[in-house]
Amino acid sequence: ALKMVTIGGGSSYTPELIEGYIKRQDQLPIKEIWLVDIPEGEKKLNIVGNMAKRMVKAAGLDWEVHLTLDRREALKDADFVSTQFRVGLLEARVKDERIPGSYGLLGQETNGAGGIFKAFRTVPIILDIVKDMKELCPDAWLINFTNPSGMITEAIQQYGKWDKVIGLCNVPVMAMMNEPATIGKELKDLTYKFAGIDHFHWHRVWDNSGKEVTMDIINKMYDGSETGLPKNIFDVKFFREQLNQMKMIPCGYHRYYYRQTEMLNHSLEEFDQNKTRAQEVMRIEHELFTLYQDPNLDHKPKQLAERGGAHYSDAACEAIASIYGDKKTHMVVSTLNRGALPDLPSDHTVEVSSIITASGALPLTFGHFQPAERGWIQLMKNMELVIDEAAVTGDYGLALQAFIMNPLIPSGQAAKDLLDEMLVANKKYLPQF
């Protein structure tokens, strides 16, 4: 019987996770679900935790749902641990979005200066969790979606020395859910291959006769068809000529780099109107937690689809079911490269199409990139390594290097001033600096 633990259990996404377990009740012999939070999150934990209990009961299951602030009690003898916490809560996200905005720069959860600081705040905590796991549940699998998901997964492997980890994101999931219909196909009749790193990957697609259909999907991206862009990303179209040359489908986040000026202008317009995504998320959360308090609600409400991360918890459940049942499902996950992308070091984390087995993710070989994509991915991956090392050591020079490398932060005195201001604003969550 399985003991499942979720750290950051008070998240508004938790009902999707519970729904994902319920859907897979025949594949997962669950006995206990432990939702862990911190005192600041206790109120949310209780509301969403009671909702989780109602969902389990309505499904006729006898699973125990435990709500706790004691992480170590939860981790003891756990089989699967998933992480979905937000260090510093949404207040920290407001700062990640507003402070760069005040310098005329992009404020975003996982890109630019905000993404770097989210990593700085999160890495110490995830390494602490790994330390606890080594002691309390050394055989457990860790499924991480705490952002920046790729960098956090990398830190777990490089610095936590913990290999039983899978990093997840909903962006590939949403692409695979929405694209097939645009070319009149079903997912089961297509072969997808993704390659890159979290929030910076591309993909190619083939049909069941072996014909590549990547360009057919790209063509549809220009006649207004929905391609599965998460709700949090403003839709500026990619340059058609660039995609024609690339012959791959970039992920939604690539537009911050390929249409940097337009994305920045949009972000600054919102900044001027005091409309950041964090504030929008606060509004959606308020709506969701009001619904969750309804004692008659015992299923995931449709309003959860307003969150950018819709479907990621379901992906987590699928990854868990695939590991437990050795299902060999195709999933796009953050895992060690092991040669799948020969343009990147083999002992670092990449986000690629993989087969999920009882021994974890087996990445599928993608091969070399063309020079343009190779240049980008090597810069972005190496920047991630600099960020993680800065997050572990608290080395100011490394933090500055990360800012200078980041393509969304122009190098110069303002970059250094921004770094300094964000270090002060986040002091409470940066013991390493």
Scanning residues 96 to 115, which ones bind ligand G6P (CB under 6 A)? 109-110
Give the range of 163-171, 180-188, 189-197, 322-330 binding ligand G6P by CB under 6 A: 163-171
Are the C-beta atoms of 35 and 14 separated by less than 8 Å? Answer: yes
Q: Which is closer to Mn ion, CB of 113 or CB of 205?
A: 113
259 interacts with ligand G6P by CB under 6 A: no
Give the range of 78-86, 179-187, 242-250, 423-431 binding ligand NAD by CB under 6 A: 78-86
Could you count the other beta carbons within 10 Å of the beta carbon of residue 333? 29
292 interacts with ligand NAD by CB under 6 A: no
% helix, strand, coil for the chain, step of 5: 50, 15, 35
Of 309, 340, 376, 406, the one binding ligand G6P by CB under 6 A: 309
Give the range of 21-29, 208-216, 305-313, 331-339 binding ligand G6P by CB under 6 A: 305-313
Q: Which amino acid is at 314?
A: D
CA-CA distance, 223 to 177, in Å (whole number)?
18
Cross-strand pairs, 250 = 202
- Shortest separation between residue 81's beta carbon and ligand NAD, angstroms: 12
Of 6, 12, 214, 335, the one binding ligand NAD by CB under 6 A: 12
Of 92, 99, 129, 171, the one binding ligand G6P by CB under 6 A: 171
Instruction: Please tell me the number of Cα atoms within 13 Å of 386 on its side-chain side.
Output: 18
Of 406, 418, 422, 426, the one binding Mn ion by CB under 5 A: 406
Of 83, 153, 157, 170, the one binding ligand G6P by CB under 6 A: 170
Of 85, 253, 271, 376, the one binding ligand NAD by CB under 6 A: 85
* Both tokens assigned to 196: 């890159």
Are the C-beta atoms of 81 and 133 separated by less than 8 Å? Answer: yes
Of 4, 116, 264, 281, the one binding ligand G6P by CB under 6 A: 281
Cα Rg for the chain, rounded, in angstroms? 21
Look at residue 7 and give the partner it binds from Mn ion, ligand NAD, ligand G6P, none, a contact being a CB closer than 5 to 8 Å depending on partner kind: ligand NAD
Give the range of 23-31, 119-127, 167-175, 292-300 binding ligand G6P by CB under 6 A: 167-175
Look at residue 13 and give the partner it binds from ligand G6P, ligand NAD, Mn ion, none, a contact being a CB closer than 5 to 8 Å depending on partner kind: ligand NAD
Furthest-apart CA pair in the chain: how many Å? Answer: 61
Instruction: Please tell me the number of Cα atoms within 13 Å of 320 on its side-chain side.
Output: 35
Q: What are the Cα distances from residue 12, in Å, to 300, 380, 401?
A: 10, 30, 35
Per the residue annotation, which of 192, 253, 258, 292 is the catalytic one?
Answer: 253
- Shortest separation between residue 253's beta carbon and Mn ion, angstroms: 8
Are the C-beta atoms of 26 and 56 separated by less than 8 Å? Answer: no
CA-CA distance, 291 to 298, in Å (whole number)?
10
CB closest to Mn ion, residue no: 169
| Helix orientation angle between 14-23 and 312-325, rounded to the nearest 10 degrees | 40
Q: Which helix (H) or strand (E) holds 419?
A: helix 413-425
Look at residue 406 and give the partner it binds from ligand NAD, ligand G6P, Mn ion, none, a contact being a CB closer than 5 to 8 Å depending on partner kind: Mn ion
Q: How many residues bind ligand NAD (CB under 6 A)?
A: 29
Where are any strands of DSSP class E within 169-328? 190-197, 200-207, 249-250
Burial string for 260-287 (b: 16+ CB within 10 Å, else e) reads eeebbeebbebbeeeebbbebbeebbee
Look at residue 411 and give the partner it binds from ligand G6P, ligand NAD, Mn ion, none, a contact being a CB closer than 5 to 8 Å depending on partner kind: Mn ion
Question: Does 253 participate in catalysis according to the annotation?
Answer: yes
**Positions that interact with Mn ion (CB under 5 A):** 169, 404, 406, 409, 411
Q: Which residues are catalytic?
A: 253
**Positions that interact with ligand NAD (CB under 6 A):** 7-8, 10-13, 36-38, 40-41, 44, 84-87, 89-90, 109, 125, 145-147, 149, 168-170, 309, 312
